[in-house]
């Protein structure tokens, strides 16, 4: 592979529209180019990375006994109506009509299609266990696509679906996938965690996420060093000390709080602390307004709230809806006198008095007691676990970290098989409902996540397993003995099965060094005039501080051994 | 690979909705299943075939110096507006709006996106020649999808695009692709032809199609055994003997032709021959009506007519449009008195008198002479070449055959680069327009075409190179010594790199034989009780009349050698 012949359009400057480091570096290294919001072209070097990820995923899925198939991206509305998701999936489901005015969508996921296949082709308990997967393009019409391929609209996903005759067998299929996923992420050379997770719009009873650990990750992870518990913050329950509801300690009293909209402003104005305020947030859940209360220094966990409500769509109410529902403007909502359902975080019940909004401009109540003043409120775990809270499993102090979700495995139970009538004949001749699981890996997102985890000021630090090439050979001059020796080494490496890029461009060596580092190539070999005299070349691992000289005659075998021994790790 | 564990849902009966043999056999062999009109799921065995085709295409494209990338399927309307095809592509271009009401389409082809990339990334003549390709899902909203994956709406295509600094260099890029395509189709093990073709909606000056030869093919091919000329019938010009226009021989005279709508009916009624009739067809070309005349026993070649008109959309006029334009009903149109443009096939000028419609019900004119009675008509080559016509190149009698288009290569010139302003700086520092070519292969269609070419009453006859597996090993019993020996042979074959399916199902041997033949597996090995005694297994090539006995001890090496030596051919 000669650099001069390849389309590798590296950029010196950071593109102005890229917010996160992986997006910046993927553009700068010439791995991707944007076509439209959330829609990218993978250039040759980027595609090499993507294909390496894909190959590892495919090998491990096959090794785990899953069978690859390929389902369509364009799917008829009828199937989505059968599952009920045509109405409930929301606007991320891109819908359209064809020339005959039939309704279709661009598939964001394939439970409907695979369950339709299963109900036609699975006849008997003998046809299971069955695990079918594909590596295929998905489309989700994200309201705000961002971070390059990290949260794109069109993206590449591996999605697998298991079919079993019983919950026990399904649990086994789930474990097989969990193990396969760990082998996949091990081989990819990524640091990752496996965490309990919410099942979201896919549904089912039980799920785990695979998180690539990176400080820049969108997700927060709760981990307990004492007991090994690990969960997405969305999912982690808050365990409160068992304590009775606090008795009132003061009268409810309206006070003026001019222009104090936020908990912080109210606390400051009333000379108290945010933890003595109760925030009341108005949400619209499946079209109906509800109120959710948490302490002023806490955040509502919308996933918990959504699950408690059993809602399909949950969003914060806009200003006019708030006025309509509470009678007061944004920033002054409170539970007193509300006619909509009120949900209060459990810790509020243990506080004798709180400040709450009075549902009119520039006014709050002091002395609020949940049991006395909002007796109809539903008390529940509504907030994010925070520093100081105990581990939900063992009670020890957990740690918080950040991660990027790259895999998600679900026990689906019979959610889809029941909706679509996917049954099998059991050993006793009885028709029973198939038990399903589904298992996703964000193939294109893994590329971005690997870069969020592996980068430095010079560029990308790819794990060896997924680098666009394992080795870059840099002749100091594009012609003459250095170029000839470099060409020989390049050819020897390919003959040994090591993928290698020869930077044959007639440019300053400094630019070659920079591009090799920017692309994240794990091993760089410089063939220069000095080495030619001594019969040596300069070998540098991407993250090593210094290069080393190795004999030119053995260079190819030394490097090939490094690549084999390196496994998936960054060098 | 154990048959019992795989999803291979073979069917005994021909599905009623499959018209052509490849569609029937792909359903029966469990290679595909229909999701919606023209939209199919590839099941595991079908996907294995598809992937083998894909791998050969990829290897030869890479060997020819092309670079793989991956472009999006969802594309913004703006780019298609820039090229002008948003308006002209017609309803095969599936359009929709996203949640923000921006217009997009599902890509039927990628000239716009690749040219957009080229204008951004190609700076200088030094960046060329460049050939970029992808293997990617396309969508064309066919008005009548049919024949399974042969004319599907969602399908897999390899599309390549070349960029050059001059027409000469572009001609060279075109030749490189032509050679690569021949290697691809050779390796696939298909009988095929390379024919001159019309460039259709892709455009450009010059193109060749690669046709898999099959009696059931949709396309007709004109080939000349004398000079080697070969063209799609759509494209083949008709070479008439040089003759002056015929002088009139009779007066124009209206005659009653009650209920005689077709040329045949009119000829019969008037006791003459269809070749003495001139059919007048009314078309709507880009919204405007035109008339096209050919001899009563000929067919209008709509591709030729479209090209002569320079039209983007050409369709036959409906009954009400015919009445409006001609004053008469369907079946009685004629050129006399028409105010719309009239195009007449050249051979009509050499006929002294003809019968034509009179533009009123149940009436025709006899004695019509083109030069005298339709002096304003444009004379052109408008019809299909037919038996008896000379080879357009050398004049010898050509032959007609049928084929399935599986590849199409185009010299695009500057059609897209000019529209999108894709330029480069030449050696003299001048900005010049990039010269392009594009090169398609219908990857999924190849699977169907291979089956149209290779099948018999027992099922598919796949070429070795693309069979779902090379070998099927059939133990006569699913347990005991036969099963053990079969398992050993299966494992040995995989260890030698031969893909092999072990039919471990506990069913009648006859069903195993049938499924192996139906799937088109090139080599079948039967391990039975008799062979176990003599230390032999029965080997049968798919198309051989009889099996042969081979020693069990050497079976794996004998079979592996057959697979290697067999190359791509059917066995």
Partner-chain contact B91 A99, CB within 8 Å? yes
Give how far B23 is from chain A: nearest CA, Å: 17
Percentage of chain A lying above the pLDDT 70 cut: 99
Chain B CB within 8 Å of residue A472 CB: no
Phi, psi of A525 (to 5 degrees): -120, 125
The predicted complex's ipTM stands at: 0.91
- Whole-angstrom Cα distance, residue B531 to residue B546? 16
Is the predicted pLDDT of residue A569 greater than 80, yes or no? no
Contact A377, A344 (CB under 8 A): yes
Buried b (16+ CB within 10 A) or exposed e, B459-497: bbbbbbbbbbbbbbbbbbeeeeebbebbbebbebbeeee
Q: Is the peptide bond before B158 cis (omega within 30 degrees of 0)?
A: no
What are the pLDDT digits (tens) for B335-352?
999 999 999 999 999 999
Contact A150, A20 (CB under 8 A): yes
- Whole-angstrom Cα distance, residue A418 to residue A435? 9
- Whole-angstrom Cα distance, residue A107 to residue A96? 12
**CA-based torsion, A305, A306, A308, A311: positive or negative:** positive
Partner-chain contact B35 A72, CB within 8 Å? yes
Which among B67, B68, B117 is the nearest to A33, CB-wise? B117
Q: Number of residue pairs across A and B with CB atoms under 8 Å? A: 135
pLDDT of residue A529: 87
What is the strand order of the sheet A288-295 is part of?
Answer: A314-316, A278-285, A288-295, A342-345, A378-380
- Whole-angstrom Cα distance, residue B68 to residue B60? 12
Which among B44, B65, B154 is the nearest to A68, CB-wise? B44
Partner-chain contact B74 A36, CB within 8 Å? yes
What are the pLDDT digits (tens) for A384-436?
999 899 999 999 999 999 999 999 999 999 999 999 999 999 999 999 999 99
Task: Please list every residue in chain A whose beta carbon sits closer than 8 Å to the beta carbon of residue B40.
Answer: 72
Is the predicted pLDDT of residue B203 greater than 80, yes or no? no
Residues 63-102 (A) with a CB less than 8 A from some CB of B: 65, 67-76, 91, 94-96, 98-99, 102
Contact A24, A452 (CB under 8 A): no
Residue of A nearest to B123 (CA): A9
Partner-chain contact A72 B5, CB within 8 Å? no
pLDDT of residue A545: 94
Which among B36, B43, B132 is the nearest to A7, CB-wise? B132
Give how far A134 is from chain B: nearest CA, Å: 10
pLDDT of residue A17: 86
Residue of A nearest to B121 (CA): A9
- Whole-angstrom Cα distance, residue A381 to residue A345? 5
pLDDT of residue A568: 66
Partner-chain contact B41 A113, CB within 8 Å? yes
Give me Rg for the CA atoms of chain B.
29
Residue of A nearest to B505 (CA): A126
Which among A9, A76, A154 is the nearest to B36, CB-wise? A76
Query: Over chain A, what is the mean pLDDT?
Result: 95
**How far, rounded to the nearest angstrom, does the alpha carbon of residue B69 sit from its chain's CA centroid?**
24
First to last CA, chain B: 21
Task: Please list every residue in chain A whose beta carbon sits closer than 8 Å to the beta carbon of residue B91.
Answer: 99
Nearest Cα neighbor of B36 from A440, A80, A153, A91 is A80
Q: Coil, strand or helix: which one is B217?
A: coil
Is the predicted pLDDT of residue B63 greater than 70, yes or no? yes
Torsion angle of the four alpha carbons B41, B43, B45, B47, in this order, in degrees rounded to the nearest 10 = 50
Contact B434, B456 (CB under 8 A): no
Contact A467, A522 (CB under 8 A): yes
Outline where A335-374 has alpha helix (H).
370-373
* DSSP code per residue over A136-195: EEEE---SS-BTGGGB-SEEEEEEEEEEESSHHHHHHHHHHHHHHHHHHHHHHT--EEEE
Residue of B nearest to A68 (CA): B44
Task: Please list every residue in chain A whose beta carbon sits closer than 8 Å to the beta carbon of residue B158.
Answer: none
Task: Please list every residue in chain B whose beta carbon sits closer than 8 Å to the beta carbon of residue A9.
Answer: 121
pLDDT of residue B205: 72
Residues B14-31 have a mean pLDDT of 94
Q: Coil, strand or helix: which one is B367?
A: strand
Contacts of A31 (CB under 8 A, 6+ apart): A42, A43, A45, A46, A49, A447, A468
Outline where A327-432 has alpha helix (H).
370-373, 415-420
pLDDT of residue A16: 87
Partner-chain contact A94 B96, CB within 8 Å? yes
Give how far A50 is from chain B: nearest CA, Å: 10
What is the strand order of the sheet B288-295 is part of?
Answer: B314-316, B278-285, B288-295, B342-345, B378-380
Give how far A220 is from chain B: nearest CA, Å: 29
Which among B41, B91, B120 is the nearest to A69, CB-wise? B41
Give how far A550 is from chain B: nearest CA, Å: 32
Is the predicted pLDDT of residue A89 greater than 90, yes or no? no
Partner-chain contact B75 A137, CB within 8 Å? no
Task: Please list every residue in chain A whose beta carbon sits closer than 8 Å to the beta carbon of residue B33.
Answer: 117, 120-121
Residues facing residue A404 across a β-bridge: A212
Nearest Cα neighbor of B559 from B533, B529, B532, B527 is B527
| Band (B564; pLDDT cuts 50, 70, 90) | confident
Residues 24-53 (A) with a CB less than 8 A from some CB of B: 33, 35-36, 39-44, 46-47, 50
pLDDT of residue B568: 65
Buried b (16+ CB within 10 A) or exposed e, B296-328: bbbebbbbbbbbbbebbebeebeeeebbebbeb
- Whole-angstrom Cα distance, residue A483 to residue A485? 6
Is the predicted pLDDT of residue A536 greater than 80, yes or no? yes
What are the pLDDT digits (tens) for B402-451?
999 999 999 999 999 999 999 999 999 999 999 999 999 999 999 999 99
- Whole-angstrom Cα distance, residue A536 to residue A516? 20
- Whole-angstrom Cα distance, residue A115 to residue A351? 49
pLDDT of residue B305: 97
Is the predicted pLDDT of residue B565 greater than 90, yes or no? no
Kindly list the distances between the CA atom of residue B147 and the CA atoms of A357, B19, B21, B54, in Å, as whole numbers in the listed order: 67, 6, 9, 21
Which among B71, B98, B137 is the nearest to A73, CB-wise? B137
- The widest CA-to-CA distance across chain A, in whole angstroms, is 92
- Whole-angstrom Cα distance, residue A263 to residue A278? 8
What are the pLDDT digits (tens) for B83-95?
999 988 888 999 9
pLDDT of residue B119: 97
Task: Please list every residue in chain B whose beta carbon sits closer than 8 Å to the beta carbon of residue A499.
Answer: none
Kindly list the distances between the CA atom of residue B356 and the CA atoms of B266, B324, B330, B360, in Å, as whole numbers in the listed order: 9, 19, 13, 11
Torsion angle of the four alpha carbons A491, A493, A497, A502, in this order, in degrees rounded to the nearest 10 = -70
pLDDT of residue A272: 94
Phi, psi of B396 (to 5 degrees): -70, 165
Task: Please list every residue in chain B whose beta carbon sits closer than 8 Å to the beta carbon of residue A132.
Answer: 7, 44
- Whole-angstrom Cα distance, residue B81 to residue A130? 47
pLDDT of residue A182: 98
- Whole-angstrom Cα distance, residue B371 to residue B477? 81
8-state DSSP, A14: P
8-state DSSP, A228: -
pLDDT of residue B312: 83
- Whole-angstrom Cα distance, residue B204 to residue B210? 17
What are the pLDDT digits (tens) for A443-467?
999 999 999 999 999 999 999 999 9
Chain B CB within 8 Å of residue A271 CB: no
Torsion angle of the four alpha carbons A296, A298, A301, A302, in this order, in degrees rounded to the nearest 10 = 30
Percentage of chain B lying above the pLDDT 90 cut: 92
Give how far B45 is from chain A: nearest CA, Å: 8
Partner-chain contact A94 B99, CB within 8 Å? yes
8-state DSSP, B240: -
8-state DSSP, B296: T
Query: Over chain B, what is the mean pLDDT?
Result: 95
- Whole-angstrom Cα distance, residue A473 to residue A475? 7
Which among A9, A40, A127 is the nearest to B72, CB-wise? A40
Domains of chain B, each with CATH number or no CATH: 14-237+400-452 (3.30.930.10), 253-380 (3.90.960.10), 462-566 (3.40.50.800)
Partner-chain contact B141 A99, CB within 8 Å? yes
Residues facing residue B527 across a β-bridge: B475
- Whole-angstrom Cα distance, residue A155 to residue A406? 12
Nearest Cα neighbor of A469 from A2, A145, A39 is A2
Residues A8-12 have a mean pLDDT of 96
| Band (B241; pLDDT cuts 50, 70, 90) | confident
Residues 130-159 (B) with a CB less than 8 A from some CB of A: 130, 132, 137, 139, 141, 143, 153-154
pLDDT of residue A565: 83
Tell me how crowded residue A176 is: count the other CB atoms within 10 A of its CB: 18
Residue of A nearest to B1 (CA): A65
Partner-chain contact A47 B69, CB within 8 Å? yes
What are the pLDDT digits (tens) for B453-476?
999 999 999 999 999 999 999 999
pLDDT of residue B98: 96
Nearest Cα neighbor of A319 from A310, A309, A329, A311 is A329
pLDDT of residue B261: 87
pTM for the model stands at 0.92
What are the pLDDT digits (tens) for A107-118?
999 999 999 999
What are the pLDDT digits (tens) for A185-215?
999 999 999 999 987 767 677 899 999 999 9
Partner-chain contact B67 A7, CB within 8 Å? yes
Give me Rg for the CA atoms of chain A.
29
What are the pLDDT digits (tens) for A230-276?
999 999 999 998 888 999 999 999 999 998 989 999 999 999 999 99
- Whole-angstrom Cα distance, residue A153 to residue A138? 8
- Whole-angstrom Cα distance, residue A131 to residue A10? 41
Which among A36, A94, A121 is the nearest to B9, CB-wise? A121
């Amino acid at each position: 592979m000669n650099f001069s012949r390849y389309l590798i359009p590296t950029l010196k400057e950071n593109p102005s529209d890229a917010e996160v480091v992986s997006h910046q570096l993927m553009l700068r290294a010439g791995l991707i180019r944007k076509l439209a919001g959330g829609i990218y072209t993978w250039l040759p070097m980027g595609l090499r990375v993507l294909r390496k990820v894909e190959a590892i995923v495919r090998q491990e899925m096959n090794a785990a006994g899953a069978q690859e198939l390929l389902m369509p991206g364009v799917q008829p509305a009828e199937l989505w109506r059968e599952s009920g998701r045509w109405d409930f999936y929301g606007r991320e489901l891109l819908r359209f009509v064809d020339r005959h005015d039939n309704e279709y969508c661009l598939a964001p996921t394939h439970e409907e299609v695979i369950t339709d296949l299963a109900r036609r082709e699975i006849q008997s308990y003998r046809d299971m266990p069955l695990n079918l997967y594909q590596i295929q393009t998905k489309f989700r019409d994200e309201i705000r696509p961002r971070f390059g391929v990290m949260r794109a609209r069109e993206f590449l996903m591996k999605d697998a679906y298991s079919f079993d005759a019983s919950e026990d067998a399904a649990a086994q299929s789930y474990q097989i996938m969990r193990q396969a996923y760990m082998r996949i992420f091990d081989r990819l050379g990524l640091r990752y965690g496996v965490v309990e997770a919410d099942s979201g719009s896919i549904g089912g009873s039980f799920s785990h996420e695979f998180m690539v650990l990176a400080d820049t990750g969108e997700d927060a992870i709760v981990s307990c060093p004492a007991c090994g518990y690990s969960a997405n913050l969305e999912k982690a329950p808050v365990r409160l000390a068992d304590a009775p509801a606090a008795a009132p300690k003061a009268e409810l009293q309206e006070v003026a709080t001019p222009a104090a909209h936020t908990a912080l402003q109210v606390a400051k104005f009333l000379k108290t602390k945010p933890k003595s305020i109760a925030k009341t947030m108005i949400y619209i859940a499946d079209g109906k307004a509800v109120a959710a209360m948490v302490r002023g220094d806490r955040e509502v966990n919308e996933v918990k709230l959504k699950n408690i409500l059993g809602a399909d769509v949950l969003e914060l109410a806009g200003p006019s809806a708030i006025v309509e529902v509470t009678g007061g403007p944004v920033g002054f909502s409170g539970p007193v006198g509300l006619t909509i359902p009120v949900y209060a975080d459990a810790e509020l019940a243990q506080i004798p008095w709180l400040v709450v909004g009075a549902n009119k401009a520039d006014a709050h109540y002091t002395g609020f007691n949940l049991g006395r003043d909002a007796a109809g409120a539903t008390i529940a775990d509504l907030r994010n676990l925070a520093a100081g809270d105990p581990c939900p499993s063992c009670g020890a102090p957990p740690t918080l970290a950040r991660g990027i979700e790259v895999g998600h495995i679900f026990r689906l139970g019979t959610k889809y098989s029941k909706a679509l009538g996917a049954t099998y004949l059991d050993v006793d001749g009885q028709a029973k409902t198939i038990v399903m699981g589904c298992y996703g890996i964000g193939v294109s997102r893994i590329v971005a996540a690997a870069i969020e985890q592996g980068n430095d000021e010079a560029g990308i630090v790819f794990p060896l397993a997924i680098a666009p090439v394992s080795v870059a050979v840099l002749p100091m001059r594009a012609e003459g003995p250095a170029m000839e020796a470099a060409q020989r080494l390049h050819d020897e490496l390919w003959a040994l099965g090591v993928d290698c890029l020869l930077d044959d461009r007639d440019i300053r060596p400094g630019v070659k060094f920079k591009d090799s580092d920017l692309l994240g190539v794990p091993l760089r070999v410089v063939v220069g005039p000095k080495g030619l005299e001594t019969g040596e070349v300069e070998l540098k691992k991407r993250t090593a501080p210094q290069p080393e000289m190795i004999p030119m005659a053995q260079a190819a075998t030394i490097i090939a051994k490094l690549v084999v021994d390196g496994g998936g790790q960054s060098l």
